[in-house]
Amino acid sequence: AQSVTQLGSHVSVSEGALVLLRCNYSSSVPPYLFWYVQYPNQGLQLLLKYTTGATLVKGINGFEAEFKKSETSFHLTKPSAHMSDAAEYFCAVSSLSNFGNEKLTFGTGTRLTIIP
């Protein structure tokens, strides 16, 4: 079965500092991996995804993530944090459910706070 672990339920960084949100996964098949962001009172929005090919994936708003198979990791980074990055971030892995549907398994989320 697939699972996702996000280390750190809360992360605080100063404006302009590096953002690093950690995600480790377990999967019995080559995984598809995703990062979603949720702003207050909104639904989830896709930041980026890894399916196949290049292991460094660039997403919206200056975020990127690197798929490292040997470490079973898919950490999210941004070189310079902006106040507008304050939100909750979810890592997810896709798989086939018992019913044959492609489904997402989510981590518990990391709340990112930006310090002015």
Partner 1 sequence: ETGVTQTPRHLVMGMTNKKSLKCEQHLGHNAMYWYKQSAKKPLELMFVYNFKEQTENNSVPSRFSPECPNSSHLFLHLHTLQPEDSALYLCASSLMTSGGFSSYNEQFFGPGTRLTVL
| Residues lying near partner 1 in the complex (CB under 8 A) | 4, 9, 29, 32, 36, 41-46, 49, 51, 90, 94, 96-97, 99-109
Nearer to partner 1, 81 or 107 (CB): 107
Nearer to partner 1, 66 or 88 (CB): 88
Nearer to partner 1, 7 or 46 (CB): 46
CB of residue 15 to partner 1, shortest distance in Å: 27
CA 44/CA 60 separation, integer angstroms? 14
Q: Which token pair is 15?
A: 């404006």
CA 68/CA 78 separation, integer angstroms? 17
- Residue 84 CB-density burial (10 A; 0-12 exposed, 13-18 middle, 19+ buried): exposed
